[in-house]
Structure 1
Amino acid sequence: MKTYTKQQLALRNGQDRPEIWVAYKGKIYDVSQSRLWKNGKHYEHWAGQDLTDELPDAPHNENVFDKFEPIGQLL
């Protein structure tokens, strides 16, 4: 699996590039096709970031990432 830096992840925010990526527990997921991540924003969360520390405050658990195939590893 390809590895990416936090800086590379940050560019995939739906604004700087068309890709909408998020990271969770070291894995990077492409959420571009999700209607919930339109324009790189999901409620108060922005794409291009590691969401590991933010998930405990979400109304769902980590199973939400089962819908998406991991596309890389976060360094």
Structure 2
Amino acid sequence: MTELPAYTRSQLALRNGQDKPQIWVAYQGLIYDVTASRLWHNGKHYEHWAGQDLTEELSGAPHTEEVFGRFTVIGVLK
């Protein structure tokens, strides 16, 4: 198994759908690429913004962490 690249919070923040074309979010130390999701168009999903660690915010979401299984893990958060 290949080791995943590590990204800082600053690097993650640039993948917000505005500064760079990629749309990434982090959850429990893993970074997910949500670029292809229509629900993350322009880097926003309801009251959540891409380029951030959403671990603390998930408790208020109408879905469980299983939703992250739909997306590719592309790195780990340093």
| TM-score normalized with structure 2 length | 0.95
Distance (whole Å) between structure 2 residues aligned to residue 49 and residue 31 of structure 1 = 12
Look up the match of 1:22: 25
Look up the match of 2:44: 41
What is the correspondence of 1:1-75 to structure 2 with a 5 Å cutoff? Answer: 1-75=4-78
Among all aligned residue pairs of Structure 1 and Structure 2, give the percentage whose two residues are the same amino acid: 69
Distance (whole Å) between structure 1 residues aligned to residue 17 and residue 70 of structure 2 = 19
How much has 1:49 moved relative to structure 2? 0.1
Q: In structure 1, list runs of 5 or more residues that go unmatched.
A: none
Distance (whole Å) between structure 1 residues aligned to residue 57 and residue 64 of structure 2 = 11
Q: In structure 2, list runs of 5 or more residues that go unmatched.
A: none
